[in-house]
């Protein structure tokens, strides 16, 4: 049989962001991955910066002067925002992936209701909790004296 020519059509990273008609859980999925990568990047940078202490006082002082700039303060707050989202969404995912929030299988009768509908109220609560923690963190970061 002759070989059929095919055109590759895998979405790749574009598939994380979808075509604009996706559900909210898909965007949470993407945000969870992006914040996870962001937190990992922060940890690596944190190790690099704190390792400067081993190079002597002068190197350490220079590093502290650099990361003390306002742009790093904003960046630090973004890390906190990523942490708050990742933690609360992660809690939801743990409960979903252990089958706690998915509901039992049921015969599909139109209009279909899926496990997405079962876990959605908890998802809303977790996102509100994350937003509250982000706001409290922002107040602490920018308005309270250190």
Partner 1 sequence: MANEGTTNVIFRVRRYDPDRDAAPYYQDFTVPVPPGMVVLEGLWYIKEHMDATLSWRVSCRMGVCGSCGMLINGSPTLACNTQIHDVARDGLLMVAPLPNFDIIRDLVPDLGPLFDRHSHLMPFIVREDHDEMQEPSDQYWQSADDLLEYLQFTYCIKCGCCMAACPTFATDPTYSGPQPLAQAYRYMIDSRDGAFEERKAILAGEAGPWRCHYAGECSAVCPKGVDPARAIQLMKRELVLDYLRLGKLRRRKPAGVLPPEKKRGRREGIPEHPPFTVEGAG
Binder among 47, 57, 112, 143 for partner 1 (CB under 8 A): 112
Question: Cα separation of 104 and 53, whole Å?
Answer: 55
Should residue 30 be labelled a site residue for partner 1 when binding is judged by CB under 8 A?
yes
Should residue 1 be labelled a site residue for partner 1 when binding is judged by CB under 8 A?
no
Closer by beta carbon to partner 1, 31 or else 63: 31
Should residue 22 be labelled a site residue for partner 1 when binding is judged by CB under 8 A?
yes
Binder among 54, 106, 144, 146 for partner 1 (CB under 8 A): 106
Closer by beta carbon to partner 1, 33 or else 46: 33
Least distance to partner 1, CB of residue 66, Å: 35
Question: Cα separation of 137 and 73, whole Å?
Answer: 12
Closer by beta carbon to partner 1, 45 or else 124: 124
Question: Cα separation of 71 and 66, whole Å?
Answer: 10
Q: Which two tokens stand for residue 35?
A: 């914040």
Q: What is the DSSP string of 100-127?
A: SSS-------SSP--HHHHHHHHHHHHH
């Amino acid at each position: 049989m002759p070989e059929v020519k095919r055109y590759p059509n895998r979405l790749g990273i574009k598939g994380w962001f979808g075509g604009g008609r996706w559900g909210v859980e898909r965007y949470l999925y993407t945000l969870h991955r992006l914040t996870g990568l962001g937190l990992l990047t922060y940890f690596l940078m944190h190790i690099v910066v704190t390792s400067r202490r081993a190079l002597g006082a002068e190197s350490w002082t220079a590093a502290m002067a650099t990361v003390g700039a306002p742009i790093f303060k904003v960046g630090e707050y973004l890390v906190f925002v990523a942490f708050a989202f990742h933690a609360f969404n992660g809690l939801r995912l743990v409960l979903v992936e252990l089958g706690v929030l998915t509901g039992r299988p049921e015969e599909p009768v139109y209009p279909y209701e899926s496990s997405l509908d079962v876990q959605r109220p908890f998802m809303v609560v977790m996102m509100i909790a994350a937003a509250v923690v982000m706001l409290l963190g922002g107040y602490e970061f920018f308005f309270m004296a250190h």
